[in-house]
Amino acid sequence: MNNIIKEIIEDIKIKSQDKGTYCDFGSDFYKPYSLDKRNFYEIFDIGETGRRIGFIDGGNNEIIASSDFSLHLIRIFEVVYKNNLREKSHKYEFYCLASASRQGDSIFYNIKTYPINYDLKVGSFDSFDKTLTVGSHRVSVSRVCEAVRKLAEIDIASRLADKFSSGDIIVRDGDLMADATYEIDFFNKLYSKAEEKEIIICGISKTTRLFTETGWSLVSALKSIAPDGEWYYYPLAENNNPLHPADIYIIKLDKKSKYCFKLEVYNKIEYDIRDVAGLLKLNSSDPVFLGYPYGLIVADRFARVSNSEVEYIGMKLKTTAGKDWKKIEESLHAIDAHGILDNII
């Protein structure tokens, strides 16, 4: 066993020797630039500007499911700061039922939403939707509900934009890539409002799968040449992807933090990255996750849908259904066999 561990360590050491010289996006839409120490810029402290910065994140959890339907509780949380003090927050919730049916020659997943305090209308998804499939397999019905959650996050960002003014910032947890069905329409609605009101739209990703051309982590490669302190790195590449109209940065928001994040900013309106980075830095000093915006920590916490919540809702469904539950339960057995094996000791 010790020999295996030593071999693993040696292989990792060998890999770490060649960090690469540019970011490989894996797409012709991106023309990468060589990594250069001169592209690091210091983030300066920023005082009270009176500008609002809103953070949005979403969560979902499956209540009951079969191979042909899935019911989720979806929750989106927004929190707004002004002069780094929380100004307001709001929680949006709805149920989402995805169910399979035949349309023409294909199986589609129809979406029906049940508003608690928020309503969202979404069309159906092809069960072989290429934006959601993994390999040649049919999309799982549960995966479609996750796609609906992201649409809700973008829609709520659009609603928040209605209440914001020029120079204010909206930050979503995740990127600004429209890579799944319906997302381009939802993003375009958000971007249209941003342009009309001169609002800055951002996305911050806690994890990034960007690599250099040698397969090394881009973030690790940048950290190996980065200066001390807080900084942002730009540019990584010329971005010509019509589904991804964003400037892409790597950013470190606290000098004591071990973490860097990918920051994306919608690039069809004028903005000053120094102001954006300064406001994010101001919001990223909480020791619970040093160097990560506290607004996103709050949004994540209150958007989560716990297992205990969905177990309670599932029990209410069962008791309310009464004798009809037996018919529903029969379909659940199509996918719950793994649960029996998991509980065998």
CATH code of the domain containing 260: 3.30.420
Rounded distance between C-alpha atoms, residue 54 and residue 201, angstroms: 10
Instruction: Locate the DSSP E strands across 104-205.
Output: 106-115, 125-126, 169-173, 200-205
Question: What is the pLDDT, as a whole number, of residue 341?
Answer: 46
The continuous run of DSSP H or E covering 263 comes out as strand 261-266
Assigned domain for 216 exists:
yes
Assigned domain for 16 exists:
no
State which amino acid sits at residue 226: A
**pLDDT lower than 70: segments of the chain:** 1, 12-17, 331, 333-345
Assigned domain for 226 exists:
yes
Q: What is the dihedral of CA 8, 12, 13, 19, to 10 degrees?
A: 170
Assigned domain for 203 exists:
yes
Domain containing 230 equals: 40-59+149-307
Assigned domain for 98 exists:
no
**Residues 76/57, Cβ–Cβ less than 8 Å:** yes
Assigned domain for 290 exists:
yes
Assigned domain for 130 exists:
no
Assigned domain for 341 exists:
no
- How many domains, the chain? 1
Q: Whole-model pTM?
A: 0.92
